Structures are given as C-alpha cells and as structure tokens.
Amino acid sequence: MTELTTQKDNALAAIAAASTLDALDEQRVDALGKKGWISLALKSLGQMHPDERQQAAPAIQAVRAEVADAIEAKRAALEEEALAVQLAKERLDLTLPAPDAPRGTVHPVSQVMDELAEIFADLGFAVATGPEIEDDWHNFTALNMDESHPARAMHDTFYFPESDNTQDGHRMLLRTHTSPVQIRSMKEQGAPIRIIAPGRVYRSDSDATHTPMFHQVEGLVIDRDIHLGHLKWTLETFLKAFFERDDIVLRLRPSYFPFTEPSVEVDVGYAKENGRRVVGGSGDDPGHDWMELLGSGMVNRRVIEFAGLDADQWQGFAFGVGVDRLAMLKYGMDDLRAFFDGDVRWLQHYGFSPFDQPTLSAGVGARP
C-alpha cells in the first residue's frame, strides 16, 4: 500500500510537471496503459486472499481515479494553453489593406470576342457555337468541298486516325475554320438566320503570324432577299464600331471560296504610324495602303441545299475573320505567338480588367 502511495505521489508530480500533451500521454501510458503500474496493481487483486482484496480494491480504485482525474485536468489545461498560443499566432488584423497579390487579366482574344458579340448583338445577331472536333462533312463537304476538292489539301488539316471515324464513315478532324457552324446553325434553326460564331480553329501552320490554333468569327445572314449591299453595310458598320472610327474604308475584291458565290475578299485602308499599322482612310490616299482583312461572299446555293433549306426561297451572305488579327490591329501587338505563351508579363501588359466590359454606351474599346 505504501508503495502504491509513493507511485501515486510520483505520478501526480510528473503529471503536474508535464509541459506538453505528448509528455502527459507518456504519464497516462505509464500509469493506466495495459502494462501501467495501476493496471498491474488491479490485476494483482486476482491473486489476493478475499479479505486482503476487500481492503486493497477500493484503495487501488481510488488511486486510479485520482490519477485519471489529474491527467484529464492537466490535458484540458494544456489544450487551452495551446489554443491560446495558436490564436495569438494566427491573429488577423482585418482592418489592414488587402495585400497586393497578382491579379489575373482578361485575355485580349476574350475581350475582342466580347466586343464582337456586343457590336453584333446591336445589329440583331445571336452568338452560335459548334464543336472544335468536327467531321469532314460539316467542315468540307457541306461547304461545297467534296473529297477531291483542292481546297481540302490547302487547309493543312489536323485529321484524327481513321479508327475515330464516325459511324457513317465521316473522317474526324479539328475544324479548320468556323464555317461549319454555318451548316449546323442552318440545320438546327432553319431560316431566317442572323448569327456570329466565334471560336478556335486549327491548321498545321506555324510562324510569326500563324499558330496551329487561332480564332475566327464567322458571320451568317440568311433571309429572303439579302444581297451584297447588306454584306458591305454590315461589314462597314461592324468595323467602324470595332475600331471606333468613322473613316474606315473598305475595298471589295472578287475572290473565290467554294462556299460563297460570288466571293469577296475585303481589304481595309490603313497608314503606318510609328511602324504600326493603323486602320483608317482609303488605301489609295497618300501614305496609305490596303490590307486584306477578311473573306466573305453570298452563300453558295449548294451550301444552302446541303444545310437542308430551299435555295429558291433563302439566300444570304457569310464572312469569316481572324479574331487574333483584329486584336493585334486594334491593340498593337506584333507577334501572334505571344498570344498563346501564357507569359504573365504579356498578360499584365495587354490584358484587360474584368471591369472593362465592352458596352456600346461606354465604348467597346476600353484600354487595358
């Protein structure tokens, strides 16, 4: 019994002295663990004479309770202490100004696409989309380029392996232009139709002005008596709003696309200022020149038929323009490849604040 009292006094002293939860737990195992001295004392009851046991049992239980209580009390005290330390360490002064963390910007391509959507919404155009993984029927055949058409070879197409062909045997590819959205829109919505279709397109081509992925916006208007005049007015109105100047002069040149007839390539007048092309004025003015900007034309009646519409009732125009090029011309970048490098310094310089939402009232050309 005296031994038990000594052990208890030693244990209580050690518990009181424990300065960490780990040290305290060592004391718990030492006393109350499977092989702890209290557990052993309790086990020894079994071998005792009944009279002796009657005396010893309550004494051992009392020691057990006293030690267990001391451990619990000490644990609570240590935990409280630890919490106080943690709270002191992790205190935040919410009145301090927010840290100057790096902030993201809106990529010029996204900004220009929003500008285009805003401008064309005002002209009554909806935004349409189509898949970037296309089949060769939508990308070529329905656009009047059958298998043997030389334009197919000129498109530097990324094809998927034959094993990925669709069930009806169509070859899968990464769309080479946004024109397949013309077909999908006509098939899905019928006519009349007034849409723009911005998005990614892919061609196996790469230098300072070409990247394997770039962006186009397609325009399509189908109605009963649409003519070339509507096309010219629409492009002029769009480009004046986009470049935010009235002196935009266009030159329409006869051209060829399998999906438009007649086809028209559109040049815009520009001048060189500080080595930079600035759109505006006639290309025939002194100090000015013409630059090719986009492809367009009256939708070929074969395309209207492929899309399931009656070509005797419906006609219209289409155009396609490079979004990255528009962004470069408007905001003055000179290397297309930097658009897709993801360099934070470039993005900080050319990117836009999310607050610069293009609106017709506040202007579609907020500066970064």
In angstroms, the CA 165 to CA 173 distance is 9
The structure tokens listed for 160 are 């998927």
125-158 burial by CB neighbour count: b if 16+ within 10 A, else e?
A: beebebeeebbbbbbbbbbbbeeeeeebeebebb
Query: Restricting to residues 206-265, which ones interact with ligand PHE according to CB under 6 A?
Result: 218, 257, 260
320 binds ligand PHE (CB under 6 A): yes
The structure tokens listed for 250 are 């266009």
Beta bridge partners, 197, equal: 218
List Cβ<8 Å contacts ≥24 apart for 325-328: 325/293, 326/112, 326/116, 326/242, 327/108, 327/109, 327/111, 327/112
User: Given candidates 31, 231, 309, 318, which one binds ligand PHE under the rule CB under 6 A?
Assistant: 318
In angstroms, the CA 199 to CA 177 distance is 9
Residue 337 CA neighbour count, 13 Å, CB half = 5
Question: Per-residue contact track with ligand PHE, 139 to 178, x per CB under 6 A?
Answer: --------------------------------------x-
Q: Which span sits near ligand PHE by CB under 6 A: 80-88, 131-139, 232-240, 290-298?
A: 290-298
Tell me which residue of 9, 27, 6 sits closest to 72, measured CA to CA.
27
Query: Restricting to residues 66-95, which ones interact with ligand PHE according to CB under 6 A?
Result: none
Beta bridge partners, 102, equal: none
- Least separation in angstroms between CB 358 and ligand PHE: 23
- Least separation in angstroms between CB 165 and ligand PHE: 24
319 binds ligand PHE (CB under 6 A): yes
Q: Which is nearer to ligand PHE, 53 or 301 (CB)?
A: 301
Question: Per-residue contact track with ligand PHE, 260 to 289, x per CB under 6 A?
Answer: x-----------------------------
Q: Which is nearer to ligand PHE, 196 or 338 (CB)?
A: 196
295 binds ligand PHE (CB under 6 A): yes
Binding site for ligand PHE (CB under 6 A): 177, 179, 218, 257, 260, 295-297, 318-320
